[in-house]
């Protein structure tokens, strides 16, 4: 994927894979990156670190709960105001909590679906956008079973299925939006640390 001069939104970007994605986009000369997270303190720290390294005009932090359509739409609006458009959405926010399983499904499944549907309104060529790419963070546990974390695995399997299906949905094809899922294996992130 050519990142030069592209504008990206990354959810769950205050740490882990999301933070790494945001920095990688900037390394590849993105026009701008919006860091979305509910963790304001860490989000602002990551944002400032990336501003110091890549320039004040390249990064913004936006508080966003991915289960809220209002907050996601607000994040797209703020990104358009800051950078003029949106080319890439990384639905990366995720949690792993087998006890509070409703929260896991809300973030990992509802958040991905909500972000993808809202992106159509902002990125689609029929809606004034330029098309683009949506990357949904799933997991190897979305394709392999693990009896210790069935809810998390189910949430990530949902992301894989949703991404495969939406990638061929006429609305997305007509609007020149590619949709894909990535399935990383175990990564040493705060998500893992919280489960230990």
Q: Which residues are catalytic?
A: 152
| Strand order, beta sheet including 132-137 | 59-63, 32-37, 7-11, 88-91, 132-137, 177-182
Angle at which helices 111-123 and 150-166 pack, to 10 degrees? 20
> Would you say 95 and 108 are in contact if contact means Cβ atoms under 8 Å apart?
yes
From the centroid of its chain, how far is CA 40? 16
Pairing between strand 88-91 and 59-63?
unpaired
């Amino acid at each position: 994927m050519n990142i030069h001069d592209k504008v990206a939104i990354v959810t769950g970007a205050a740490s882990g894979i999301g933070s790494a994605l945001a920095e990688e986009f900037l390394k590849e000369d993105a026009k701008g990156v919006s860091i979305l997270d509910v963790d304001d303190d860490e989000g602002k720290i990551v944002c400032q670190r990336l501003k110091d390294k890549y320039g004040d005009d390249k990064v913004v932090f936006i508080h966003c709960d991915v289960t809220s359509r209002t907050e996601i739409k607000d994040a797209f609006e703020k990104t358009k105001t800051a950078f003029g458009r949106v080319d890439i959405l990384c639905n990366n926010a995720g949690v792993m909590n087998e006890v509070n399983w409703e929260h896991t499904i809300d973030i990992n499944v509802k958040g991905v679906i909500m972000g993808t549907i809202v992106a159509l309104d902002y990125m689609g060529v029929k809606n004034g956008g330029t098309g683009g790419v949506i990357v949904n963070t799933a997991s190897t546990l979305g394709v392999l079973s693990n009896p210790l974390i069935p809810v998390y695995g189910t949430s990530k399997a949902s992301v894989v299925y949703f991404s495969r299906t939406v990638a061929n949905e006429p609305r997305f094809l007509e609007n020149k939006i590619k949709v894909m899922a990535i399935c990383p294996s175990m990564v040493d992130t705060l998500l893992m640390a919280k489960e230990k």
